[in-house]
């Protein structure tokens, strides 16, 4: 902000929350400033006219009537300027402006009584004045309005408790007036003591009001800060003027229309201007949120402080001062009565607070029950979600297993082998790489061996007995193969009547015995296909190890080794069936670089070594090519 300080908040700053008109931006920004300047000019004009009349017109009935009526009109303007704000403001601000209107209305009543004596009765106002109590108490609503702090948004509890705090303060200030001032007016009349007591108590009350306005002004923000600053300036001017006027009254120097009224008239006009300005500048809702620690506590503390101060006044009434006995008795009875009234107000306030507390406790209990209910519901849903997650994982595993399983035979399918082949082959290669990098000799490397098994003359079974019988034969073959392989081996239906077994061994020279076992298991007993059909059949086997050469373990990949095993299977078929053919690297063959697989698919190649294994049920090596299928036994 370009300007700061008290005078900046007296109306010469732009209000950012003022309603926008349909004119230019410059016009919108200048509306509050122009209005403040106009009203300042009006106030100055009223003051100048009043000063001029006070200086020119001598003390007379006309001057008295002019002074009294001017002040009545200005106080009526003060009251009427704040009353419309009660209808358009939000809840707390409505209470604020209502208290302000009550304060200005009481001030107007006191001035109307003064005018009645001087204008209608044409007599000098008596001292003590009967309207002094109204004049004294009109500051209490204004003080309570400052304590409302309408610029802060608080809950309904602070708004409902505000009237009670106001009545506590009003009762306390009225008690102070009745305790300090009234005894010298009605109980034991001493005019000088009455005037001095009234002046001191009234000055203290005005100082409290000014201090309250300073506090709310410093802790607020625009546009309310400007409103508080205006009220502070007007209250300060009024305090100075009323102090001077009271001193003049006690010295019998005051008369209505004199220069002593100039500060009072200026303050009244200033108060009226604040009410009119607020209607154009204040927002409909508060801009700030109340912090929890500032929840109207200090207003209630002031009210409670007033309650606890009554025992001190009792002690003063009984033991303090040099007041006559009648005054002491009056003060003691008054204090007891006020203590009863204050106690009743405190009891009522506590009752409302207890009801609110019980309501909050019930609400918190309901919220706690709801929280526990939500917690239990969340735990149940979490447990259900966990169960469904586990069930989903199980179903996914089942689906994965189904997708990797051959439906007909129950063996793994070709897709499963493709899924695990890279990992299995990579593990073997890493073992060899670690061996070379650490120069470890004689390590037990479990190589992979791919064994291709193909049924002999399977087409004739389909031709003679139909495809359902052929399917049952494949199922029986898979069952027998599962009795031969180990749990760590992988049995795959490669396609048609062809199976692939992936096993591990530390020495490929032991594979012929394993193949012999497969040949024997499949050829030893006929296969019962149901419906009285029994079929005896054989198989042919081709196998190769991976890596194909331990000296050049990266020369041939796993897929090429499977192709080489398939080539060996066809060699077994060509050489008479019912036998196993393995392809191993020839002794002394140097395979250091990758080479074409076609060089190994030659049975006369110097790079390979053929290992044949006959079926134990065919010791001469003659395959049963002439009678692969037996007639069913009836």
pLDDT in tens, 6-34: 333 344 333 444 444 444 333 333 444 55
Q: What pLDDT score was predicted for residue 84?
A: 85
Return the minimum-mean-pLDDT range out of 36-45, 145-154, 372-381, 622-631. Answer: 622-631
Mean pLDDT value across the chain: 81
CA distance 602 to 562: 16
Q: What pLDDT score was predicted for residue 347?
A: 81
CA distance 10 to 281: 13
Q: Is 174 within 8 Å of 192 (Cβ atoms)?
A: no
CA distance 574 to 199: 135
The answer to whether residue 398 scores a pLDDT higher than 90 is: no
Q: What pLDDT score was predicted for residue 478?
A: 95
The answer to whether residue 159 scores a pLDDT higher than 50 is: no
The answer to whether residue 563 scores a pLDDT higher than 90 is: yes
CA angle 178/184/186 to nearest 5° reads 75
548 vs 503, more confident: 503
Q: Is 452 within 8 Å of 496 (Cβ atoms)?
A: no
Backbone angles phi, psi at 535, to 5 degrees: -130, 130
303 token code pair: 């009210």
Closest to 405 in 3D by CA, of 393, 418, 415, 395: 415
The answer to whether residue 161 scores a pLDDT higher than 80 is: no
Q: What pLDDT score was predicted for residue 408?
A: 92
**What percentage of the chain carries pLDDT values higher than 70?**
82
For residues 390-420, one letter each, b for 16 or more C-beta atoms within 10 angstroms of the residue's C-beta and e for the rest, the string is eeeeeeeeeeeeeebbbeebebbbeebbeee
- Give residues with Cβ within 8 angstroms of 320, minimum separation 6: none
Burial environment of residue 359 by CB neighbours within 10 A (0 to 12, 13 to 18, 19 or more): exposed
Q: What pLDDT score was predicted for residue 590?
A: 62
Beta pairing class for 579-585 and 539-546: parallel
Q: Read off the pLDDT band of 507 (50, 70, 90).
A: confident
CA distance 67 to 262: 10
pLDDT in tens, 245-256: 888 887 888 888
Average pLDDT over residues 576-598: 79
**What percentage of the chain carries pLDDT values higher than 90?**
30
Q: What pLDDT score was predicted for residue 196?
A: 87
Average pLDDT over residues 29-49: 68
Q: CATH for 414-614, among 3.40.630.30, 3.40.50.12780, 3.30.70.270, 3.40.50.80?
A: 3.30.70.270
Closest to 143 in 3D by CA, of 231, 84, 76: 231
Q: Read off the pLDDT band of 607 (50, 70, 90).
A: confident
Q: Is 221 helix (H, G, I), strand (E, B) or coil?
A: coil
Q: Read off the pLDDT band of 432 (50, 70, 90).
A: confident
The answer to whether residue 442 scores a pLDDT higher than 70 is: no
Average pLDDT over residues 585-606: 73
pLDDT in tens, 306-356: 667 777 777 777 776 677 888 888 888 888 888 888 788 878 877 888 888
Matching residue, tokens 């051959």: 406
> What CATH number labels 29-170+192-289?
1.20.1070
Average pLDDT over residues 168-191: 85
- Which stretch of DSSP H or E encloses residue 486? none
Residue 235, phi-psi category: left (phi > 0), alpha (psi -120 to 50), beta (remainder): alpha
Q: Is 58 helix (H, G, I), strand (E, B) or coil?
A: coil
CA distance 99 to 105: 10
Q: Read off the pLDDT band of 595 (50, 70, 90).
A: low
Q: What pLDDT score was predicted for residue 221?
A: 80
The answer to whether residue 3 scores a pLDDT higher than 60 is: no
The answer to whether residue 187 scores a pLDDT higher than 50 is: yes
Beta pairing class for 498-505 and 533-535: unpaired
Q: What pLDDT score was predicted for residue 121?
A: 86
- Give residues with Cβ within 8 angstroms of 336, minimum separation 6: 314
The answer to whether residue 629 scores a pLDDT higher than 50 is: no
Q: What pLDDT score was predicted for residue 288?
A: 47
Q: What pLDDT score was predicted for residue 282?
A: 65
The answer to whether residue 296 scores a pLDDT higher than 60 is: no
Residue 282 carries which DSSP code? -
- Domain coordinates in residue numbering, the chain: 29-170+192-289, 414-614
The answer to whether residue 291 scores a pLDDT higher than 50 is: no
Average pLDDT over residues 35-50: 77
pLDDT in tens, 366-391: 999 999 999 999 999 999 999 988 88
pLDDT in tens, 475-501: 999 999 999 999 999 999 998 999 999
Q: What pLDDT score was predicted for residue 340?
A: 86
Distances (CA, A) of 124 to 128, 197, 249, 560: 12, 22, 12, 130
* Most confidently modeled range among 165-169, 313-317, 437-441, 490-494: 490-494
The answer to whether residue 273 scores a pLDDT higher than 60 is: yes
The answer to whether residue 450 scores a pLDDT higher than 90 is: yes
Return the minimum-mean-pLDDT range out of 60-69, 315-324, 468-477. Answer: 315-324
Cβ atoms within 10 Å of 536's Cβ, excluding its own: 16
Distances (CA, A) of 142 to 101, 150, 173, 380, 453: 8, 13, 13, 59, 107
- Give residues with Cβ within 8 angstroms of 120, minimum separation 6: none
Average pLDDT over residues 186-210: 88
């Amino acid at each position: 902000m370009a300007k700061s300080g008290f005078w900046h908040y007296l109306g010469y700053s732009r209000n950012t929350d003022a309603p926008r008109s349909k004119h230019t931006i410059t016009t919108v920004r200048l509306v509050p400033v122009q209005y403040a300047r106009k009203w300042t000019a009006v106030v100055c004009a009223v003051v100048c006219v009043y000063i001029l009349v006070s200086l020119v017109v001598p003390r007379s009935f006309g001057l008295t009537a002019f002074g009294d009526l001017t002040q009545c009109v200005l106080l009526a303007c003060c009251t009427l300027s704040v009353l419309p704000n009660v209808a358009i403001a939000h809840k707390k601000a409505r209470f604020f402006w209502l208290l302000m209107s009550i304060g200005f209305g009481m001030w107007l009543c006191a001035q109307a009584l003064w005018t009645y004596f001087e204008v209608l009765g044409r007599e000098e106002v008596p001292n003590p004045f009967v309207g002094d109590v109204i004049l004294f108490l009109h500051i209490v609503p204004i003080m309570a309005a400052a304590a409302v702090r309408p610029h802060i948004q608080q809950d309904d509890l602070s708004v409902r408790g505000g009237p009670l705090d106001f009545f506590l303060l009003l009762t306390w200030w009225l008690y102070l007036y009745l305790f300090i001032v009234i005894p010298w007016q009605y109980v034991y009349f001493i005019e000088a003591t009455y005037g001095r007591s009234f002046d001191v108590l009234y000055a203290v009350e005005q100082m409290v009001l000014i201090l309250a306005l300073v506090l709310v002004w410093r802790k607020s923000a625009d546009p309310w800060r400007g409103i508080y600053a205006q009220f502070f300036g007007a209250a300060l001017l009024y305090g100075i003027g009323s102090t001077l006027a009271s001193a003049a009254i006690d010295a019998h120097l005051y008369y209505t229309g004199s220069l002593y009224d100039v500060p009072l008239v200026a303050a009244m006009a200033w108060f009226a201007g604040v009410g009119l300005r607020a209607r154009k500048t204040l927002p409909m809702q508060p801009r700030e949120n109340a912090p929890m620690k500032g929840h109207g506590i200090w207003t209630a503390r002031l009210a409670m402080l007033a309650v606890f101060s009554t025992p001190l006044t009792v002690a003063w009434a009984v033991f303090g001062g040099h007041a006559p006995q009648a005054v002491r008795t009056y003060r003691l009875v008054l204090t007891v009565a006020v203590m009863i009234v204050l106690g009743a107000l405190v009891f009522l306030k506590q009752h409302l607070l207890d009801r609110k507390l019980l309501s909050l406790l019930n609400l918190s209990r309901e919220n706690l029950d709801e929280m526990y209910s939500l917690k239990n519901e969340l735990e149940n849903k979490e447990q259900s979600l966990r169960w469904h997650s586990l069930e989903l994982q199980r179903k996914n595993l089942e689906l994965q297993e189904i997708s990797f399983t051959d439906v007909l035979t129950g063996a793994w399918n070709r897709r499963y082998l493709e899924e695990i082949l890279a990992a299995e082959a990579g593990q073997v290669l890493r073992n060899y790489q670690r061996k070379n990098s650490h120069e470890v000799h004689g390590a037990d490397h479990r190589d992979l061996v791919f064994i291709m098994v193909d049924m002999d003359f399977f087409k004739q079974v389909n031709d003679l007995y139909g495809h359902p019988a052929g399917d049952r034969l494949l199922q029986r073959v898979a069952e027998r193969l599962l009795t031969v392989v180990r749990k760590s081996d992988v049995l795959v239906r490669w396609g048609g009547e062809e199976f692939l077994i992936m096993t591990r061994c530390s020495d490929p020279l032991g594979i012929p015995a394993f193949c012999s076992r497969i040949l024997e298991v499949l050829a030893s007993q006929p296969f019962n296909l149901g419906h009285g059909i029994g079929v005896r059949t054989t198989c042919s086997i081709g196998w190769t190890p991976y890596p194909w050469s331990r000296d050049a373990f990266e020369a041939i990949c796993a897929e090429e080794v499977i192709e080489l095993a398939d080539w060996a299977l066809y060699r077994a078929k060509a050489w008479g069936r019912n036998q196993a053919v393995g392809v191993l690297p020839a002794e002394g063959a140097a395979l250091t670089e990758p080479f074409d697989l076609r060089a190994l698919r030659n049975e006369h190649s110097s790079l390979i070594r053929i290992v044949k294994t006959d079926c134990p049920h065919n010791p001469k090596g003659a395959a049963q090519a002439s009678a692969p299928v037996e007639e069913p036994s009836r």
